[in-house]
Structures are given as structure tokens and as C-alpha cells.
Amino acid sequence: MCGIVGYVGDKQAADFLLEGLSKLEYRGYDSAGIAVYDGNHIRVEKSVGRLSALRDKIKDDMPQGTIGIGHTRWATHGRPSDRNAHPHTDCSGDFVVVHNGIIENYLGLKEELIEKGHVFKSETDTEVVAHLLEEVYNGDFISSVREVLHRIEGSYSLVFMSKREPDKLICTKQDNPLVIGIGEGENFIASDIPAIIARTRRTYILNDGELAVVTKDSIKITNRRGEPVTKKVFEVNWNAEAAEKGGYEHFMLKEINEQPKAVRDTMSQRIAKDGKSIVMNELKWDADYLNSFNKIYIVACGTAYHAGLVGKFYIEKLARVMVEVDVASEFRYRNPIVDENTLFIVVSQSGETSDTLAALKESKRLGAKTLALTNVVGSSIAREADQVLYTWAGPEIAVASTKAYTTQLILFFMLALYMAQIKKTQTPERLEELIAKLKNVPAQISEELSDVDPIKTFAKKYGFNEDVFYIGRLLDYDVALEGALKLKEISYIHAEAYAAGELKHGTLALIVEGVPVIALATQKSVYEKTLSNIKEVKARDAVVIGIAAEGDTELEKYVDHVIMVPETDELLLPLLTVVPLQLLAYYAAITRGCDVDKPRNLAKSVTVE
């Protein structure tokens, strides 16, 4: 997730570009850059770090010109650096592009363009687009952009600028947001409304596949075939703060709703085109490499630790390798048994978690091979690990992690499938079946998010309880741990998750009349046993909210309320059962008047022990 801006008019473009990027810095803060046409050439200025670094760099020599584009980056391909910052140019500097998203086929295109003599300056997927435009340019800017769009694959919002036709910007989108602000004698482009709200409230919201040619006096929108598209003007009635959150009340709710896209982006380049296998070019493992390990550790903190528990289940179930999960803050203090035959996997959204980084360094000292799962390119953990798998969730602003968790689960599931296909521990038919169902997950999460009223009702009814219990078995227990953490960290309700089979070993003493119990019952192999545990808490007059997969007609007989999630393979259900738990925590915090995005005593990135 990156921030994009564009300006064409009769005022100085740089003023708006910097102003707009400042409103979008929450979308990415690895680096920033602008490109402005000064009447002779396109001047590109960019800098690693926060937008302030770019401001300092050009404050005494501001680019002059009335058309330009800008970008604030959240890295996906290539670590944060000056050369990887956007905008990107072709060899001649005549074509400039900014991009939000992922070009899935960039490697093949890059190899083809290098063979034709193109020289690349960055490690990014985006630079391919600029060189491709140079390669296919036929004297007409618009038709050449259409040819580029015909050649690239992936998710993107793109803005193009050309020295050859310096009166216009061309923009388009596919699975990533893009908005055009309508002015008088000037027009604006942005990846999100906050960038333009101070200049205009009249906008066009582009749909997938639409292409807009924007000059200072006109906006012409067509489909990819060049056929005109009639758009209604969308009048923005949000205030600036709400606009930054996409109209949502809190970043946490926005990020919950971003999960379908985050999951789709994280899996997009890792599924073979025929849908029959997992592709992990970052790893390129073989059977000899995997068979050299007699043990796998997964080490993390908090939500990432809970993702690791699910990851353990996936790897053991599918790849049949023994896995141990450990809390990072405990790991290095217990003289762990780690050697050169150990694969050590660390998980951290920020890539800066102090305890996790320390555990990673200790495992390397002991000889282990290391793999990091993280969301931040170029982070300390990414640099320290031997290999890295990135989640492409985009920046997560709220302290309570949501989309980072679901993308970590996606990575673990795909890693387990990848290991299984190498080790041949699952049949090709089973792998193809699971991949097909995996591809449906983004749409299923969207389905869950389309109707949250029942969850709001439960939160209002039970949000003032001081104790809530979660129970489940197998994967349901792992997800219950994350659900309880979400509730306690943002609503301050005392919430605990228990393996349902452990109730009789002490926990039942805490179950009293009226106490809410969230019971996850999606795992078929232990379904009857879970029902038995639910009956135990109901016998003590608990109020039970059950979570089941669609098609389950039994659970409602034994609980007070039921939340249904879409039906899929039970291995994938954690990705769906966690969503109502996130929403329940969110609306409970709202009911109690808590500061959802900034809960007391907590920080987003824990960089001290």
C-alpha cells in the first residue's frame, strides 16, 4: 500500500504534491519522491525515509512546473532506498510512473527488456512499467499506455507522465484505489481522498479497468478498449480526519476491511498460473534442503505468536515435519536445543520486535538456518534472516493487529503447501483442491464483512461484562487465543482462551451465570467433543456465542447465539473465524468508549525487552 498523487493545472505542482503526500504518509513511509515537468525535462527528486527527508532535500531548490506526480512508498520489491523510491523513469527519462500494487509478471518482462538493451536502476517491479512504456511507445501516449496495460499482470494503480506529451497525466487502476479530484483550471489524482480534500470535494472514483486522461481543463475516462465511460461526481462529505481513515471511524476498522485485499496481494504471486502448485521464488528449496532439518522452530510475540501456532498445525499436518512454537521473550533464556539441522522461523509484522530479533540472532549463533515472515521490507529482522517471506498487507496503523495476522496465516499455509509438494507428503489432487479453496478466501472474507449488524448487537449486549471466555479445540483453540487477545487489548475486558478439553481441569470453576463464552466449533474431527464442552458451560448458565461453518445445523441447539462463517476446508477456517472475533473486539471497545487505535499502555512496535 503506497500513496500516489498527481497534479495538472496552472499552479506550482510541487506545492500540491508535497501537501498531498503529507496526507497519505500513513499509507507508506519508507521513502518519498516527486517528478515535475519544468518545460524542458522531467525533474525527479526522491529520498529514503519520511517525507520530511524529501522536503529538506529540495527546500532550497523546489522543482518548478505545473504538472507532476508524487509517491510515498511502502516497500514490496526492493528494500527502502533512494534508488528504489518512486517515481521511476525509463532509460531516456521521457516517461515517468508511480505505482501502488504488485506487478506479478515483472521478472519475465524485466529479462525481456534487459535483452533489448534497457538498463534498470532499481530493484522494484514498478520500473518495469516505465521501460515497457518506452519500448512500446508508438508516438501516441494514450495508445501506448493501453499496450502496457495489456502486457502487465497484477494489482495496481498507476499514474503516467511523459515529456513527449507534457500537458496530460494518464491514470488507471486494478484492485487498488484511485480517485480524481475535479478543480477549476486544475485537476488532481490521488490514491486516497485525504490527499485532495483540502483542494476539492468533487471527485471521480475510478473502477477497475478504467483509464483516465487528465489535463488542467478536462478529464476523459474510458475503458481499456477506449470506449467512453460516464461517471457520476462523488461529493466528499467527510472531514479530513475521517478521510485519512477512508471514511471509517478508526484505523482498526479500516484495516479489518482491508483484509480481503491484503490476503489477495500476499498470495497473488505465489500460486502457479495453472492453480496446481505454490511458487516461492524467494526460497527455491528442494527435498535435500528440507530433509536436512530434523526440527523447525517458530518464534514470535503476541499476535505473531498466535499465527505461529496455526503455522505449526499447517506444517505438521501437510508437510509432516515436527514443529515447536516458542514465545520469543522466553526462547533464548532456556538454553534452546538448536543446531545446523534446525530451521528457525521468526514472525514479526514490523520486523523490529526486540525479543524476536534477539531470538533470531541467538539461533544463527547456534548454527540454524533462518527464515523471517515480516511485513516490512528492509527491517532489522528481514536483514538478519537468511531468507524472507513478505506479507504484503501494507502499513498497519492501529496497535491491534488484524490484517497482519491474516496475511501471516496465508503465508504459513502456503509455506506448508510448498513444503508438502517438495516432500510429496500430499497428493497433487489434494494440493490442487486446497489451492482452489485458498483462492476463494478473499471473497469469503468480503462476504463476512458485508453484514456485521449481528456482531454489533452482541457487542452492545455483552460489552460491559468484565470477563469473557473463549474455548475451542485444535485450530479453533489457536484462533480463540487471538480472539481473546484482541478483546483484552482494546476493550480492557478480562478475556481468556482455553483448550475446550481443559475445562474440567480447573477452568469450569470460573464459569458462572451470565458470563459470556465464545465457543468455536468448526473442526469436524473434534466436533462432538466440542459440543460436549459447550454443554458443560451451558449447564453452569453461561451465555454461549457459537461460531460455526455454514451448513452446521446442530450447534444452534446448544448455544444462545450463532455466528456463521463461510464454508471451506477446515484447515482454512482460521482465516474466516478470526474475522468475527476481530469485529466483536472492535465493537465491544466502541461500546465501552475505549480508544480503539491507541489502547492504553501498548505500542505498535515493541522495540525494547
Given the residues 2, 171, 301, 594, the one annotated as active site: 2
Instruction: Say how far apart CA 58 and CA 518 lie, in whole Å.
Output: 55
Concatenated DSSP letters of 195-219: GTTTT-SEEEEPPTT-EEEE-SS-E
User: Is 538 labeled as catalytic in the residue annotation?
Assistant: no
Query: What size, in residues, is the chain?
Result: 609
**Contact of 67 with 187, CB cutoff 8 Å:** no
DSSP structural state of residue 139: S
Q: Which three cell numbers stand for residue 355?
A: 525479543
- Identify the three-state secondary structure at position 546: strand
User: Is 91 labeled as catalytic in the residue annotation?
Assistant: no
Residues facing residue 346 across a β-bridge: 299, 372
Concatenated DSSP letters of 71-138: EEE--SSS-S-TTTSSPEE-SSSSEEEEEEEEETTHHHHHHHHHHTT----SS-STHHHHHHHHHH--
Would you call 343 exposed, middle or buried from its count of C-beta atoms within 10 A (0-12, 13-18, 19+)? buried
Residues facing residue 442 across a β-bridge: none
Place of cell 527502502: 80
HSE-up (13 A, CA, CB side) for residue 504: 9
Instruction: Say how far apart CA 356 and CA 346 lie, in whole Å.
Output: 7
Given the residues 439, 456, 598, 604, the one annotated as active site: 604
**Contact of 33 with 62, CB cutoff 8 Å:** no
Q: Please report, for residues 86, 295, 506, 516, the alpha-carbon distance to residue 510 in angstroms, rounded to integers and kept in the order given.
A: 56, 38, 8, 11
Instruction: Say how far apart CA 518 and CA 502 lie, in whole Å.
Output: 15
Question: Which are the catalytic amino acids?
Answer: 2, 604
